[in-house]
């Protein structure tokens, strides 16, 4: 498994990462164990989760039980900031809440440190300097090795990096954001901002919730049990006429080259070295195999130009 350096950190991560949003919820514990063990056996070393995944803590709990001695072999990433109680009091990025959230995550994960601790989304109620100072304390205490952000705008990333530099605080080393052939908006401002600051990019929804895998068909309801079948409002966001047109043209593109949509989705994202790892969930070992195999296509300049024509 090829690895890349995550931004200006010292973390080398597999170009295919494992997303933990299925654990503790969509799949049971035994299935989660098979996926995690299978990922590690196949060379995946980045596992990304969040405290909110698995119905508020279930994903971290499952990973804590599964990893055991294998914990030292992986780069363990998690996030904080989304609501962790029904009242909405356990949320955000204040200094007080971060101290609570990291202790809770460490306990669920059964580990003494988190390799990459990420702000899940902006907290408009808390100045970013307060957040960065709190995270810097965690880094200095050895509870967290590096920090990252998710779902921040380019301007927010620029502001946070400037504050970290001015005050000698640990900076964000990565941005985790939606990025795929059907969602290229971050290329306009966020990706250039990340590159200028030596940050790595970690795409989520690289397969557009499955629309880029071929499992969904135009005019046909999503198959039972799939993500878009369970989240009809989410399905409406992806299953648009605009996206179906692009998917149709991309399917013809890969067919002419004897490739698959999965290969295109992964390998196209990895065309840019700023993308350190493509994070994708999996519910079976077979999906893991497919994801890993999909990262090996080096697209030619002509291929990339054609993809741009189709998707931009």
H/E stretch holding 210: none
Which residues, listed in sequence order, are joined to residue 28 by a DSSP beta bridge? none
Alpha carbons 60 and 66: distance in angstroms, whole number: 10
Whole-number Å distance between alpha carbons of 128 and 140: 18
The Cα–Cα gap between 18 and 171 comes to 24
Tracing tokens 């098979």 back to the chain, one arrives at: 34
Of 195, 147, 143, nearest in space to 171 by CA: 147
Among 76, 79, 82, 121, CA closest to 102: 79
Task: Give yes or no: 53 in active site.
Answer: yes
Which residues touch 310 (CB under 8 Å, ≥6 apart)? 246, 249, 250, 253
Strand duo 16-19 + 12-14: pairing: unpaired
CA distances in angstroms from 45 to 40, 76, 311, listed in the order given: 6, 8, 31
DSSP per residue, 127-191: -HHHHHHHHHHHHHHTSEEEEEEES--HHHHHHHHHHHHHHTPPPEEEEEEE-BTTB-GGGTTHH
Q: How far apart are the first and last CA of the chain?
A: 31
Active-site annotation holder among 53, 97, 117, 179: 53
Residue 214 CB neighbours (<10 A):
14
Rg (CA), the chain: 19
Active site residues: 53
């Amino acid at each position: 498994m090829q690895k890349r350096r995550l931004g200006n950190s010292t973390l080398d991560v597999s170009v295919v990462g494992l997303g933990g949003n299925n654990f503790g919820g969509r799949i049971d514990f035994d299935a989660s164990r098979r996926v995690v063990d299978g990922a590690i056996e196949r060379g995946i070393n980045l596992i990304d989760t969040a405290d909110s995944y698995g119905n508020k803590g279930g994903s971290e709990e499952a990973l804590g039980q599964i990893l055991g001695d294998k914990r030292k072999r992986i780069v363990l990433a998690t996030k904080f900031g989304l609501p962790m109680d029904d009242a909405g009091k356990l949320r955000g990025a204040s200094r007080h809440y971060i101290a609570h959230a990291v202790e809770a995550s460490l306990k669920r994960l059964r580990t003494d440190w988190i390799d990459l601790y990420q702000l899940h989304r902006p907290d408009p109620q808390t100045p970013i300097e307060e957040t960065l100072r709190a995270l810097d304390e965690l880094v200095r205490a050895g509870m967290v090795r590096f920090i990252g952000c998710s779902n921040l705008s380019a301007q927010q990333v620029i502001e946070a990096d400037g504050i970290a530099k001015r005050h000698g605080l640990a900076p964000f080393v990565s941005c985790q954001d939606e990025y795929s052939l059907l969602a290229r908006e971050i290329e306009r401002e966020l990706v250039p901002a990340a590159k200028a600051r030596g940050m790595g990019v970690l795409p989520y929804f690289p397969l557009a919730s499955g629309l880029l895998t071929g499992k969904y068909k135009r005019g046909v309801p999503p198959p039972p049990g799939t993500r878009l079948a369970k989240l009809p409002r989410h399905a409406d966001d992806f299953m648009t006429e605009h996206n179906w047109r692009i998917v149709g043209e991309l399917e013809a593109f890969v067919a002419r080259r004897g490739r698959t949509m999965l290969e295109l989705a992964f390998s196209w994202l990895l065309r840019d070295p700023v993308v350190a790892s493509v994070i994708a969930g999996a519910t079976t070992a077979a999906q893991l195999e497919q994801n890993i195999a999909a990262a090996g296509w080096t697209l030619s300049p002509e291929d990339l130009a054609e993809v741009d024509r189709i998707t931009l």
